[in-house]
Amino acid sequence: MLKKVLVTGGAGFIGSHVVDRLNEKGYEVEVIDDLSAGRKENLPQNVKLKIKQVKDLVAEDIKNFDIIIHCAAQVSTFYSVDYPEEDFNRNALSTFHLFELCRKYNDNAVIIYTSSRSVHGNIPEPLIAEENFSYNPSTFYNVHKIYGEMLCKIYKELYGMKFVILRPSNVYGPRQPYWMGGWYNFIAYWIKLALENKPIPIYGNGTQIRDYTYVEDTARAYALAIENPKAIGETFLLPTGRGVSLNELADLIIKLTNSRSAKQYLPPRKGDIQRFVGSYKKAKEILGWEPKVTLEEGLKKEIEWVKEDLKIRAHAI
């Protein structure tokens, strides 16, 4: 029987790639998105979109789905530092509201909760993060993602609900909203600046290390998770195992865009961490997932997308 899937935040960056993947595999997919960062044009024409915030969902919105994938979120760690209450409402309260609706009206659905590698905080050399590493939040965003993970645990233990927790790691690629001015996953914003030969802002000294995963690789993990019964009740990190500094990343973007941009160093941001590098061993063992796209390949694809999207936007004005 054809499985029905609801994707919250499905018109957004990661969510729309998840929708594409499931649509191609023959699932019946519907999307709920408030379009605060997503776009209608990110979605295939045969996918139904309901424009709505998660906090406003009612029983009819979530009934009759076999799988509910929760991607909708406020996704900037630094935004959460400046606007903690808004982050609480968008990330913690909305997640609770969704899970509570599911408990009351669709408690047999498999729920995929999008958490974040950032729940682990700083991972000092030479450690490589694994799922069993302790929580170590540095911003409200991290705290609220941990809250969501704790809700998964409690709803499972008290009511027998079914969850899979995914922890994406610094996802990048096409459809990343460069127009959000760097608040939202900064790589696309850096690419736009490089194409315009403008300074690339780096907060701190640029030695901070991150583990970047291409968006289509990340989306593939969602499809594998819903198809594998062994995934239920498990948590999976989705990194590449390769650490790259902000300085190295900026240099690579400048090189790949043939840009004259210079790096502009600014004061460090509150809540920033020095290093994250993670292991995908568990995802490989249980889901059969591993990253396929190298950073260099992925950045080239994202650069081409940003170029094309800027052209489209310019012609639309």
CA angle 47, 179, 183 (to 5 degrees): 105
CB 143 within 8 A of CB 296: no
Would residue 258 be called left, alpha or beta, if left means φ above 0 and alpha means ψ between -120 and 50 degrees? Answer: left
In angstroms, what CA-CA distances link 297 with 30, 53, 172, 173, 256?
Answer: 31, 35, 11, 10, 10
Q: What does the block give as tokens for 174?
A: 């096409």
Q: Which residues are known to be catalytic? A: 141
Beta bridge mates, 203: 266
Please tell me whether the peptide bond between 177 and the residue prior to it is cis, using omega within 30 degrees of 0: no
Alpha-carbon gap, residue 137 to 215, rounded angstroms: 24
Alpha-carbon gap, residue 206 to 172, rounded angstroms: 18
Kindly report the number of other CB atoms within 10 A of residue 289's CB atom: 24
Percentages of the chain per state (helix, strand, coil), in multiples of 5: 45, 15, 40
CB 209 within 8 A of CB 277: yes
CB 141 within 8 A of CB 80: yes
Pairing type for strands 171-172 and 67-70 reads unpaired
Alpha-carbon gap, residue 31 to 71, rounded angstroms: 10
Residue 264: strand, helix, or coil: strand
φ, ψ dihedrals at 200, nearest 5°: -100, 115
Alpha-carbon gap, residue 68 to 5, rounded angstroms: 6
